[in-house]
Amino acid sequence: MSSLTKPELLQAFKVDLLKKVCPAESVIDYGGMWRVHGQYSILCRELGCNRVTMVDMYEAPEWQNESPLTDDIEFLKENFADPLFMATLRETYSLSIAFSIMLHQANLLDVLARILERTEETFCFCQPMIREMETSRGLVFLPEHPKEELSHQSLYNERVNFFQPGILHPSNWIWGMTPSFFHTALECNGFKVTYEEEFDDLSKRQWFWWGCIAKRQKLHPVFAVAKTRYSM
């Protein structure tokens, strides 16, 4: 049996995903700060990525202490759910990382589209997901769900249910996504899942950790022309 704790095993799972996609010429790590203080951005540099950017609206004090490891990582203290900020990102990145961020975005599909627009090749993703349902491509909006097993586990205190509409702050709203929903959302943005893996169950029966790697697909020439016209 492994001597690692659950959080350490989860970190190792995310690290394995990154090792499958690095080195990349340029990387952007969305939401890389809380608890990990840029650890995945730092790893990308160590794995030979030339240009690494991290975006997070929170700046942990520990981030400052990580110097010199973080000296050549560009940190943007911004809200990536804000389309006006995303429009200021003029460049594109070979690789985008989205670890444990998508489930909290109120404008989920819009955030995903803005991220993928700026992703040239590879999208690396991991977060808690919910099991497939009777109808495929399911997406459940939480806070709270009448079915106990669909509700997300409380982050802070098992006895108090923070995931009630009146209690939870919108920045912690939760989307329960099935893998088939996410496959389709990626395909709608020109990306296809090339690798996927389940990691572990969460304490609520329907929830589990899931990761995937998706690659940009070549557009059919007819659509490529149409896209260029509409984006002019």
Q: What are the tokens at 169?
A: 């702050």
Does position 35 bind ligand SAM by CB under 6 A? Answer: yes
Judged by CB under 6 A, how many residues of this single chain contact ligand SAM?
Answer: 17
Which range binds ligand SAM by CB under 6 A, 77-85, 130-138, 211-219, 222-230?
Answer: 77-85
Three-state SS for 81?
A: coil
- CA separation for the pair 200, 24 (Å, rounded): 28
Does position 80 bind ligand SAM by CB under 6 A? Answer: yes
* Residue number, 21 or 33, with CB nearest to ligand SAM: 33
Does position 31 bind ligand SAM by CB under 6 A? Answer: yes
Q: Between helices 179-188 and 108-117, what is the axis angle to 10°?
A: 50
Contact positions with ligand SAM (CB under 6 A) in 88-117: 99-101, 104
Q: What are the tokens at 8?
A: 């350490």
Does position 176 bind ligand SAM by CB under 6 A? Answer: no
Does position 32 bind ligand SAM by CB under 6 A? Answer: yes
Q: Which residue is nearest to ligand SAM (CB)?
A: 31
Which range binds ligand SAM by CB under 6 A, 18-26, 41-49, 74-82, 86-94?
Answer: 74-82
* Residue number, 80 or 163, with CB nearest to ligand SAM: 80
**CA nearest 66: which of 108, 40, 38?**
38
What are the Cα distances from residue 105, in Å, to 26, 75, 142, 206, 223?
A: 24, 20, 12, 20, 29
- CA separation for the pair 147, 133 (Å, rounded): 13
Q: Where are the beta strands (DSSP E) in the chain?
A: 26-30, 51-55, 73-76, 93-99, 119-130, 139-142, 174-177, 191-201, 207-216
Which residue from 6, 16, 34, 110 is in contact with ligand SAM, where contact means CB under 6 A?
Answer: 34
Strand partners, 197: 211
Question: In angstroms, what is the minimal distance from the CB of 218 to ligand SAM?
Answer: 30
Question: Contact positions toward ligand SAM, by CB under 6 A?
Answer: 31-36, 55-58, 79-81, 99-101, 104
